[in-house]
Amino acid sequence: MKERNREIITSLVFLAFSLFGWYLTREIPEPFRDYDLGAAFLPRLVLGLIGALAVLKLVIAVVENKQKIGEKKEKEQLVRAALTIAMVGLYCFCYKPVGFLVDTAIYLFAQIMLLTPKSKRCVWKILLIDVVATIAIYLLFSRGFSVRLPQGLIKFI
């Protein structure tokens, strides 16, 4: 019951954060041109996703009966969480000098390997997902949104 209450409270906090952040984005000026997304687009997108995930987690916490997590599993989750935070920090540190494509490909591969259970790991599938996702994200932001991403080690693209 304690775990369930913690999840409900956490979901409500994230939902409140999302709604408050969305309220604050009202003060961001609208774009000058009709075809421009504007400065408020990305914060609203992120806050909307956070809010949607908070509602989903709240529904799951209320509906689903949670089983107790074993101490060993909890320790593994803490190690994975710490490694994820360290990898995100390293990704941010290497982003400009290494470049978007190389940095994202390495980070994504390492993150998928970390989060995939050993019994379900298939390296060639993970590599395929990694390469396709990295290129799709690059094309979406560089061509679709016209965002200049750091070239780093790969200057020809």
3-state secondary structure 67-95: CCCCHHHHHHHHHHHHHHHHHHHHHHHHH
Statement to judge: residues 81 and 121 lie in one domain: yes
Statement to judge: residues 39 and 3 lie in one domain: yes
| Average pLDDT over every residue of 91-110 | 91
DSSP single-letter state for residue 157 = -
Q: Tell me what pLDDT residue 134 has.
A: 93
Give the domain extent around 111: 71-157
Q: Tokens 């908070």 map to which residue? A: 54
Backbone phi, psi, residue 57, to 5°: -65, -35
Statement to judge: residues 55 and 97 lie in one domain: no
Domain count, the chain: 2
Confidence of residue 33 (pLDDT cuts 50, 70, 90): low
Q: Tokens 């320790």 map to which residue? A: 75
Please, what is the average pLDDT of the chain?
A: 84
Statement to judge: residues 81 and 154 lie in one domain: yes
Statement to judge: residues 82 and 153 lie in one domain: yes
CA distance 75 to 67: 16
- Tens-digit pLDDT profile for residues 146-155: 888 888 877 6
SS3 label, residue 33: coil
Domain boundary among 45, 68, 91: 68
Statement to judge: residues 48 and 104 lie in one domain: no
pTM confidence score: 0.58
Tally the C-alpha atoms within 13 A of residue 16's C-alpha that lie toward its C-beta.
6
| Average pLDDT over every residue of 66-89 | 76
Lowest mean pLDDT among 47-61, 71-85, 105-119: 71-85
Q: What is the dihedral of CA 33, 35, 39, 44, to 10 degrees?
A: 140
Statement to judge: residues 75 and 59 lie in one domain: no
Domain boundary among 68, 95, 110: 68
| Plot region of 67 (φ>0 → left; ψ -120 to 50 → alpha; else → beta) | beta
Statement to judge: residues 61 and 78 lie in one domain: no
Q: Tell me what pLDDT residue 102 has.
A: 92
Statement to judge: residues 27 and 90 lie in one domain: no
pLDDT for residue 16 is more than 50: yes
Output the six-digit token pair for 115: 């989060």
Statement to judge: residues 21 and 82 lie in one domain: no
Contact 22, 51 (CB under 8 A): yes
pLDDT for residue 84 is more than 80: yes
Statement to judge: residues 62 and 80 lie in one domain: no
Tally the C-alpha atoms within 13 A of residue 34's C-alpha that lie toward its C-beta.
0
pLDDT for residue 41 is more than 80: no
Q: What is the gyration radius of the CA atoms in the chain, in angstroms? A: 19
Q: Tell me what pLDDT residue 60 has.
A: 86
Statement to judge: residues 56 and 91 lie in one domain: no
Domain boundary among 68, 95, 121: 68
